[in-house]
Structure 1
C-alpha cells in the first residue's frame, strides 16, 4: 500500500492526471492543485485494485466520478492494513484511522486519500459516523477470525459494506428515502460475493467469513476448509451462501429506479459484474479454496458496452447535475 506523502514532497510524488480525468475534476469544480492531485491518487488506487468499481464509475457523469474514486480509495487503504498477505500492519490501521477521522473533522489532510475523501464527504454531506463505523469494522479484522452466526456477520458487514452503500447514495443521487434499504443490501451483496470468492485467500489471512452455523448446517468444519479440498458438503455450503447473496442482489436491484437516471447504467453494471462473480464460482465447480475466480474481460465488455450507450442517452436527456 502506498505511503501517504508528507507536505514537503507530496506535489513531486503524485502523478499528473490524464486529460480525460482532468475534465472530470473540472466538472466536479475541483480546482485546488493539491486536491486535484489527491483525487488522482485516489483514482489510481481504484484503477489498480477495483476494476469493477472503476469500470462502473466511468459510466457516471464526469462530475460524479472523482467522488467514487475517493470513497473507494479510502476503503481500500484502510482494508489493506489488515488484509495485505505480504505486510499486514494492524498498528498502522489504528494510527492511520485516527488521522483519517481527524482529517475528516478538519476537512483537509496531508494524506492524499484522506484529503480527497474529506472533500467528498463535505461536498456530498456524507455523515462522519459512516466513516467511523467503517473503520471500526476494519479494526475488528485485527483479532476476530470467525463468526458464529449470520447475524454476527451482518453486524460486521454493517461497517465493512453497508455503510459504503450509504456513502455512495449521494453520489448516485437518490430520488426517494426508500433508496436507503437497497443501498444497504447492495453493500452486503458485494461483500458476501467477496466472501464466497475469497474463501481461500481469507484462510491465508487466518479468517473465515462463512458463519459457523452455516458450516454446521452442511457438516463443514473449519478444518475441512483449511484442507483446501472441495467436497460435496463444501459445494452445498457455498451454494447456500450464493443463494443468500442473490437474494440481496434482488433487493438491491429495486433501488436502481430510485436513483437519478444518469446513475442507473453505473449501478446496473456494478450489480451485473459483481453478481457475475457468483456465476464464475459456480462455473469453477466451487473451487475457491485454492484459487481466485474472476469475471472474464469478455463479459465485462459485453455488460459495459450497452451500459455506456444507455449512460450517454441518459446524460443527453437530463440536465447536468450542477444545474439541476
Structure 2
C-alpha cells in the first residue's frame, strides 16, 4: 500500500513539478521504461522494487499502473478542460485507476479475491480526486493548470485570470460552492456504496473518503478561500476522523 502511494507521488511530481514540459516528457519516458522493467522482473527504482516485493502478481497489475501513468500524462497535454465530461476522463484515469489498485491490494492483503476491482473503488477514487482539485484550486492555477471546466467558469462569470490573480468575488464563491457540492456528493455516494463486508479491509480508502468530506466542509466554512492558501485539517483532527472511519 505504501509503495502504491509512493509511486503515485512519483508520477504526480514527474508532470506537475517541472516547469519545462520537455523535461516532464523525458521523465515520463523513463517511467514507461521502468514499468516495462517492473513487468519483466528487473525494476531499478526503490519504489518499483518495493512493488515487486509486495504485490503478489506484479505483471498482472502493470496495465493498471500504465493506465495511471497515462492519466498523469494528460497534464502535459492540456491545462484546461472544456466541460465536465472531458475533465472526467482525467479524473477516471488518475483517481479511479489508483483507487482500484489500492482496493485490490487491500483485498489481497485480507486474503479475499484480489483479482478483480470492487465496483465501488473507481467511483470513490474519482470522488477523492474531485475533492483534491477543489482543495488545490489556487495552487494548480498558479502552476498554469485549471481543472474547473471552462463552460462552468463561463456560467458563473469567473475567468482564468481571476483564479491566477486570487480574485475573490460573489461569482467565485458560487462557482466553488458548485464544485464543492459535486465533490462532496460524489464522496458520500461512493462511501455509501462500500459493502459492509469490505469496510474493514478497505479502511485506507474509507479514511481518505471521510477526510475528504471533512475537508470540503472546512473549505465551505472558510468561505472557499482556496486561492491564496491550502486549507487543511490539523493532524489530531485527521487522526480522530480516520480512527472513526468504518
* TM-score class normalised by the smaller sequence: 0.7 to 0.9
Aligned to 2:200, the other structure's residue is in SS state helix
Distance 1:167 1:160, change over 3 A: same
In the alignment, the residues of structure 2 paired with residue 76 and residue 271 of structure 1 have an alpha-carbon distance, to the nearest angstrom, of 18
Q: Cα offset for 1:107?
A: 2.5
Larger gyration radius, structure 1 or structure 2: 1
Paired residue for 2:27?
93
Please list the CA deviations of residues 27-65 of structure 1 after superposition, one character each: whole Å capped at 9, or x if unmatched: xxxxxxxxxxxxxxxxxxxxxxxxxxxxxxxxxxxxxxx
Deviation at 1:176, TM superposition (A): 10
The one of 83, 102, 127 equivalent to 1:168 is 102
Residues matched between the structures, number = 241
Distance apart, 1:224 and its partner CA: 1.8
Q: Which residue of 2 aligns with 1:74?
A: 7
Deviation at 1:270, TM superposition (A): 1.9
User: Pairwise CA RMSD of aligned residues?
Assistant: 2.6
Aligned to 2:148: 210
Mapped to 1, the partners of 2:156 and 2:57 lie a distance apart of 48
> Secondary structure at 1:263's aligned position in 2?
coil
How far is 1:170 from its partner?
Answer: 1.5
Deviation for aligned residue 1:82: 1.6
Pick aligned residue for 1:297 from 198, 214, 235: 235
* Deviating more after overlay: 110-119 vs 225-234: 110-119
The answer as to 2:80 corresponding to 1:146 is: yes
Q: Structure 2 CA distance, aligned partners of 1:202 and 1:159?
A: 18
Task: Decide whether the 8 Å contact of 1:257 with 1:264 is kept in 2.
Answer: no
1:196 to partner: Cα distance: 0.6
2:17 is the alignment partner of 1:84: yes
Per-residue CA deviation, residues 43-99 of structure 1 (Å, 9 max, x unaligned), is xxxxxxxxxxxxxxxxxxxxxxxxx11111111001101222688840342232222
Provide the C-alpha distance between the structure 2 equivalents of 1:178 and 1:116, rounded to a whole number of angstroms: 22
Question: Shift of the alpha carbon at 1:177?
Answer: 10
When structure 1 is superposed on structure 2, of 138-147 and 111-120 the one drifting more is 111-120
Counterpart position of 2:189: 251
Return the offset for 1:138.
Answer: 1.6
Among 169, 175, 178, the alignment partner of 1:240 is 178
Q: Normalising by structure 2, what TM-score? A: 0.87
For residues 187-239 of structure 1, the C-alpha deviation after alignment (integer angstroms, 9 at most, x for no partner) is 11111111111111111211100111111121111122122011111111111
1:100, distance to aligned residue in structure 2 (A): 2.2
Deviates more, 1:217-226 or 1:207-216: 217-226
How high is the TM-score relative to the length of structure 1? 0.67
1:256, CA displacement in angstroms?
2.8
CA contact (8 A) 1:182 1:251 kept: no
1:108 maps to 2:42: yes
Report the CA distance between 1:278 and its aligned residue.
0.6
